[in-house]
Structure 1
Amino acid sequence: MRILIIDDEDDIREATQICLEVTGDWEVLTASSGREGLAKAAAEQPDAILLDVMMPDMDGLATLEKLQASPATNRIPVILLTAKAQPAEQRRFSQLDVAAVILKPYDPFTLSDQVIDALKTG
């Protein structure tokens, strides 16, 4: 399975990529911004997208909106990665049409399983 990671932080993006490749046998694509992520999602058609919520310029929620508005990408399941764990934010995320929300910091050894579970139920 192919997954696209959209995260502006190089170290998080690289660590997440390694985790998924090693523990889940994923083919991992990466993007360092919402704009790059939109282009890669449309061109590469990954099986899922891991999307960071907090990014400069176009944040994760704006990127999600554009992914869902485009016929080229609106069927790709999106999993949000966020450090925002406040109840109000959690309620807001639960109202979005996403496969799951995974809180940072996440356990790198269970991330692949979390993604697979989200895609099965999402």
Structure 2
Amino acid sequence: MKTCLVVDDSRVIRMVARKILQELGFNVAEAEDGQKALEYCRGHLPDVILLDWNMPVMNGLDFMLAMRQLPGAGNVVIVFCTSINDLDSMVEAMQAGANEYVMKPFDSEIIRSKFEHLGLIESDGSEF
């Protein structure tokens, strides 16, 4: 079973994401900031990371840049999930190594669609 690390300072967002990801068949781990996520990744590289941008201690972009330096981390899929919706930030995240970008608020259909597009889950045959 694939693992997804949800990195967000909002407990509610982590809880909602956990429910959606478990329904999609993922084991889910959580971290409330980039530093805790980096500590997790040093011991267990997940298959995918659902990553917030604005967090205390270490933001999402700094976390992603540090995490990508870990052995084997180039294979980890990173989906930025944030309320920052300006094009420059999206481009910056993608150029820095993100694989996809999801806007908050999100729902199960959005996550399913992005994860299908990335090849992380099988298509359920429905149209969006």
Pick the TM interval, shorter chain.
Answer: 0.7 to 0.9
- Decide which moves more: 83-92 or 49-58: 83-92
- What is the CA distance between 1:91 and its match in structure 2? 2.6
Contact 2:52/2:60, CA 8 A, preserved across alignment: yes
- Counterpart in the other structure of 1:87: 87
Rounded Cα–Cα distance in structure 2 between residues aligned with 1:4 and 1:18? 13
Rounded Cα–Cα distance in structure 2 between residues aligned with 1:42 and 1:72? 10
Rounded Cα–Cα distance in structure 2 between residues aligned with 1:46 and 1:19? 17
- Decide which moves more: 50-59 or 101-110: 101-110
Q: What is the identity, as a one-letter code, of the residue corresponding to 1:10? A: R
- What is the CA distance between 1:74 and its match in structure 2? 3.5
- What is the CA distance between 1:80 and its match in structure 2? 0.8
Q: What is the identity, as a one-letter code, of the residue corresponding to 1:73? A: A
Rounded Cα–Cα distance in structure 2 between residues aligned with 1:68 and 1:119? 20
- What is the CA distance between 1:52 and its match in structure 2? 0.7
Map 1:54-93; keep pairs closer than 5 Å. Answer: 54-93=54-93
Rounded Cα–Cα distance in structure 2 between residues aligned with 1:27 and 1:116? 17
- What is the CA distance between 1:37 and its match in structure 2? 0.6
Q: TM-score scaled by structure 1? A: 0.86
Rounded Cα–Cα distance in structure 2 between residues aligned with 1:19 and 1:115? 11
- Counterpart in the other structure of 1:42: 42
Contact 1:79/1:98, CA 8 A, preserved across alignment: yes
Count of aligned pairs: 119
Contact 1:42/1:72, CA 8 A, preserved across alignment: no
Q: TM-score scaled by structure 2? A: 0.82
The answer for unaligned runs of 5 or more in structure 1 is none
Q: What is the identity, as a one-letter code, of the residue corresponding to 2:76? A: I
- Counterpart in the other structure of 2:18: 17
Rounded Cα–Cα distance in structure 2 between residues aligned with 1:92 and 1:98? 9
User: Runs in 1 of length 4+ with deviation above 6 angstroms?
Assistant: none
Alpha-carbon RMSD: 1.7
Task: Specify whether residues 43 and 4 from structure 1 end up closer, same or farther in structure 2 by C-alpha distance, changes over 3 A only.
Answer: same
Task: Specify whether residues 119 and 55 from structure 1 end up closer, same or farther in structure 2 by C-alpha distance, changes over 3 A only.
Answer: farther
Q: What is the identity, as a one-letter code, of the residue corresponding to 2:9? A: D
The percent of aligned pairs where both chains have the same amino acid is 23
